[in-house]
Amino acid sequence: MASVTYDHATRIYPGTERPAVDQLNLQVEDGEFLVLVGPSGCGKSTSLRMLAGLEDVNGGHIYIGDRDVTDVQPKDRDIAMVFQNYALYPHMSVADNMGFALKIAGTPKAEIRQRVEEAAKILDLTEYLDRKPKALSGGQRQRVAMGRAIVRQPQVFLMDEPLSNLDAKLRVQTRTQIASLQRRLGVTTVYVTHDQTEALTMGDRIAVLKDGLLQQVGTPREMYDTPANTFVAGFIGSPAMNIGTFEVRDGKAIVGHAAVPLERHVLDQLTDADNGQVVVGFRPESLDIAHDDSQDAFQVKVNLVEELGSDAFVYGELQADGSAGDLHSGSSDQVIVRIDPREVPMKGDTIHVTIKQGQEHVFSPSTGARLSH
C-alpha cells in the first residue's frame, strides 16, 4: 500500500487558457478512502486521470509513496481503476474478465484462479464466475469490475463515479459494500463523485473542487459543520444549507423581521468591500418553530411540505418588509425548514422560525470566506 501526493499538479488542455486542474496540493494517506467531489466540470475526473497516467501533468508532480510517477506509464504505476461504465469483455466469462490483467502479466493459471475465487467470495460473485456479463444485472457487473481491480492487488484504487449507472436503491446498497470492502482491504482509494451524499457517507476525508481549484479538505463532519466558504456550504449537505446576504445593523444581521446577533470577531473581520452586509447560512435542522411574538423569529410562507416519514421539510419564502436579501438553498430561491413530521403546516400557512443559538454560519460577501468559528 502507499500514500498519494499531488504537489502543485496542474493540467491545461490544449487550446484552453484556464487550467482544468490548477496547482492541486493534496495528500492521501496510506490506506485512506479519499473522495473527490464537486460539480460537473470542476476537474475531479481530470485529477484522477492524472494520477492514473491517462492525462499529462503540465506542471507540478504526482507521487505514489515516495516514487515520482509524473512521467511513468500507466501500466507501471501499480494502480487499478474502476470506471463509470463497466468496460467488461462481453465474450469472456466473469472469471476470465476478472483475471484478464493477471493473464496478460504472465501470472500462473493456478494463482489467477485462486485470486479470482478469493475476490469473488468477497464480492458475492462465486456462483456467477462461469456466466457472461450479459447474464448479469448492472450491480453485479459493477462488482465484476471491482473484482478485476481487487485481483491485481494494486497499491492504489481509483474509482471514477462507479455507481452513477445504477438505480437509486442499488446505489445505496453498493456504496455501503464498496466502503466496507475498502476498510477490509485497507487499500488507498481515491474516489470521484458529483453526489455529495455519496461523499459524506463513504469518505474518510472529502476534497471539494470548483473550477479546477481545491476549496477545502476535511472529514465529512468538518465539511458539514465548518465549511470554509459559501461554495462548500451550499454544496455539502442534503437538503442544502439556506444561504443569504443581509444588511448589518447595530451588530446584527437583519434576516426578514428578525435580527441575528453577530459575534464581535465576525464584525471585526468585515471590510469596506463587504458594503455593510454579511452572508448568513443555516441548515434546515438548525431552525426551531417559534411563537408569533418572538422578536428574533422570521416568517416563512409555506409553499410545499415534503413528508419523508421520519422527517418533514417545509419549502417556503422568507417574508420581509422591503428587501429580504437573496436567501436561497442550493439552486432554489426557497427557505428549507426541517420540522416535526407529526405537526405539519398547510400550504399557504406562515410559520415563525428562529435560528438555534450558535448554529448560524457567517461568511464575507466580498470573498465568500468563512468568518465565524
Tens-digit pLDDT profile for the chain (373 aa)? 699 999 999 999 999 999 999 999 999 999 999 999 999 999 999 999 999 999 999 999 999 999 999 999 998 999 999 988 888 999 999 999 999 989 998 999 999 999 999 999 888 899 999 999 999 988 889 889 989 999 988 999 999 998 888 888 888 888 888 898 899 889 999 999 998 889 999 999 999 999 999 999 999 999 999 999 999 999 998 889 999 999 999 999 988 888 889 999 999 999 999 999 999 999 999 999 987 777 788 889 999 999 998 999 999 998 876 555 578 887 778 899 999 999 899 999 999 999 998 899 999 999 999 998 7
- C-alpha cell, 66: 515516495
What residues form DSSP beta bridges with 353? 289, 298
Distances (CA, A) of 230 to 36, 238, 245, 278: 18, 15, 11, 12
d(CA 254, CA 245): 9
- C-alpha cell, 341: 413530521
Q: What are phi and psi of 361, to 5 degrees?
A: -115, 130
- Rounded to the nearest angstrom, the gap between the alpha carbon of residue 204 and the centroid of all alpha carbons in its chain is 12
d(CA 314, CA 125): 44
State if pTM tops 0.85: yes
DSSP 8-class letter at 229: B
CATH superfamily membership of 241-363: Nucleic acid-binding proteins (2.40.50.140)
Do 299 and 209 meet the contact criterion of CB atoms below 8 Å apart? no
* pLDDT score of 321: 66
Q: Which are the contacts of 330, defined by CB distance < 8 A and separation ≥ 6?
A: 234, 239, 240
**H-helix or E-strand spanning residue 225:** helix 220-225
Can you give the residue ranges of every domain in the chain?
A: 4-233, 241-363
d(CA 159, CA 144): 14
Tell me the CATH number of domain 4-233, given options 3.40.1350.10, 3.90.226.30, 2.40.128.630, 3.40.50.300.
3.40.50.300
Cα Dmax for the chain: 79
Q: In which residue are the cell numbers 465576525 written?
A: 266
